[in-house]
Chains A and B, each alone.
Chain A
Amino acid sequence: MEFALSQDQKMMQESVNRTLDRVCPLDRVRKAAEKNEPAQDVWTALAELGIPGLLIPEQFGGVGLKLLDAALVSESLGRYASPVPFIANCVMAPLALLRAGSPAQQLAWLPKLASGETVAAVGISEQIAGARDGAGVTAQNGRLNGTALFVLDFANANLFIVADSENKMHLVDASADGLKKTALTTIDLTRSLGELSFEDVEAEPLAHGNALAAVRDAGWIMLAADTLGAGWQMIEKAVDYSRDRKQFDRVIGSFQAVKHLCAEMAAEIEPGRSLIWYAAHAFDAIPGDASLTAAHAKSHLSEIGRFVARTSTEVHGGIGITDLLGLHYWFKRIGLNRQLLGGPERVRHLAAEMQGFA
Chain B
Amino acid sequence: MDLAYSAEYEDFRRETRAFLENHRGQFPKPYGGGRPATDMLAWQKLLIENGYAARTIPRVYGGYGAAPDILKSRIIAEEFTRAKAPTGIAGQGISILVPTLLEVGSEEQKRQYIAPTLRGEIIWCQGYSEPGAGSDLASLQTRGVEDGGDFLINGQKIWTSTAQSADMIFCLVRTESERAKHQGISYILFPMTIPGIDVRPLKTMTGNAEFNEVFFTDVRVPQQNVVGGRGQGWFVANATLKYERGMLGDPNAANTRLQAIIELMKEETAGGQRLMDNAVLRDRLMQLQARVMAMQFHGLRLVTAAATGDDVGLARLIVKLEGCELNHQLAAFAIDALGELGVLYHDSPHLRANGFWQRAYMFDLGLIIGGGTAQIQKNIIAERGLGMPREPKLARE
A interface residues (Cβ-Cβ under 8 A, vs B) = 1-6, 68, 235, 239, 242-243, 250-251, 253-254, 256, 259-260, 262-264, 266-268, 270-275, 277-278, 281, 285-286, 293, 296-297, 299-300, 303, 345, 348-349, 351-352, 357-358
Check: B253 CB closer than 8 A to any chain A CB: no
Establish whether residues A278 and B297, one from each chain, have CB atoms under 8 Å apart when the complex forms.
yes
A274 and B305 CA atoms in complex are apart in Å by 12
Min CB distance, B321 to chain A, in Å?
Answer: 5
- Alpha-carbon distance between A5 and B1 when the two chains are bound, in angstroms: 6
Give me 27 A-to-B residue pairs in the complex whose CB atoms sit less than 8 angstroms apart, sorted by A's number.
A1-B74, A1-B300, A2-B3, A3-B1, A4-B301, A251-B389, A254-B391, A256-B391, A259-B383, A260-B379, A263-B378, A266-B314, A268-B322, A275-B297, A278-B293, A285-B1, A296-B286, A296-B289, A296-B293, A296-B294, A300-B294, A303-B287, A349-B282, A357-B276, A357-B282, A357-B285, A358-B277
Write out the residue numbers on chain B whose beta carbons fall within 8 Å of the beta carbon of A273: 315
Smallest CB gap from A254: residue in B: B389
C-alpha spacing A189/B271, complex, angstroms: 49
A272 to B290, CA, bound (A): 9
A178 to B179, CA, bound (A): 87
Q: Which of A251, A260, A285, A357 has the most CB of B within 10 A?
A: A357
Q: Is the CB of B318 within 8 A of A1?
A: no
Kindly list chain B residues whose C-beta atoms are within 8 Å of the C-beta of A286.
3
Interface of B is mostly: helix
Known: A266-B381, A275-B297. A300 touches B291 (CB 8 A): yes
B71 and A1 contact, CB distance less than 8 A? yes
Please state if A277 and B1 are interface contacts (CB–CB under 8 Å): yes
Q: Digit string of B336-380 for contact with A (CB within 8 Å is 1, else 0)?
A: 000000000000000000000000000000000000000101110
Q: Is the CB of B1 within 8 A of A263?
A: no
| B392 located at the interface, meaning its Cβ lies under 8 Å from any Cβ of chain A in the complex | yes
B382–A271 contact, CB under 8 A?
A: no
B19 interfacial contact with A, CB 8 Å: no
- In the complex, are the beta carbons of A3 and B381 less than 8 A apart? no
A-contact bits for B103-114, CB 8 A (1 contact / 0 none): 000000000000
Assembled-state Cα–Cα distance A266/B386 (Å): 8
Pick the contact of A239: B74, B303, B305, B387 (CB < 8 A): B387
Query: B135 at interface (Cβ–Cβ under 8 A)?
Result: no
CB proximity of B210 to chain A, nearest CB, Å: 27
Contacts of B390 on A, CB cut-off 8 Å? 254
In the complex, the answer to whether B297 meets A3 with C-beta atoms within 8 Å is yes
- Which chain B residues border A299 with CB–CB below 8 Å? 286-287, 290
Q: Given A4-B310, A296-B290, A266 and B385 touching (CB < 8 A)?
A: yes
When distances are taken between beta carbons in the complex, the residues of chain A under 8 Å from B293 are 275, 278, 293, 296
Residue pair A3, B303 in contact (C-beta under 8 Å): yes
Contacts of A297 in B (CB 8 A): 290
By the criterion CB–CB under 8 Å, are B304 and A2 in contact?
Answer: yes
Task: Return chain B residues, CB-CB under 8 Å to A278.
Answer: 293, 297, 300
* A116 nearest CB across to chain B (Å): 28
Which B residues are CB-close (under 8 A) to A256? 375, 379, 391
- Contacts A2-B1, A352-B286 given; does A277 touch B301 at CB 8 Å: yes
Q: In the complex where A266-B318, A345-B283 touch, is A285 in contact with B379 (Cβ < 8 A)?
A: no
What is the CB-to-nearest-CB distance from B294 to chain A, in angstroms, rounded to a whole number?
4
Complex interface: chain B residues within 8 A of A348 (CB): 282-283, 286-287, 290
**In the complex, how many angstroms separate the beta carbon of B328 from the nearest chain A beta carbon?**
15
Residues of chain B with a CB closer than 8 A to A5's CB: 1
A259 touches B308 (CB 8 A): no
Say yes or no: A242 contacts B379, CB within 8 Å. Answer: no
Given contact pairs A254-B391, A348-B283, A1 touches B9 in the complex (Cβ within 8 A): yes
Pick the contact of A358: B282, B391, B392 (CB < 8 A): B282
Q: Which of B5, B301, B310 contacts A274 (CB 8 A)?
A: B301
Report the Cα distance A349→B276, complex, angstroms: 12
Q: Are A264 and B378 in touch, CB under 8 angstroms?
A: yes
Beyond A239-B387, A243-B389, A263-B378, is A4–B304 a contact (Cβ under 8 Å)? yes
B284 to chain A, nearest CB (A): 9
Chain A positions within 8 Å of B3 at CB level: 1-3, 281, 285-286
CA distance A264 to B375 in the complex (A): 10
Q: How far is the CA of A120 from the CA of B294 in the complex (A)?
A: 32
Given contacts A1-B71, A1-B74, 11 further A-B contacts (CB under 8 A): A1-B9, A4-B305, A5-B1, A6-B1, A235-B386, A266-B385, A271-B297, A275-B293, A277-B297, A285-B1, A296-B286
Across-interface contacts of A293 in B (CB, < 8 A)? 293
Are the CB atoms of A274 and B300 closer together than 8 Å? Answer: yes
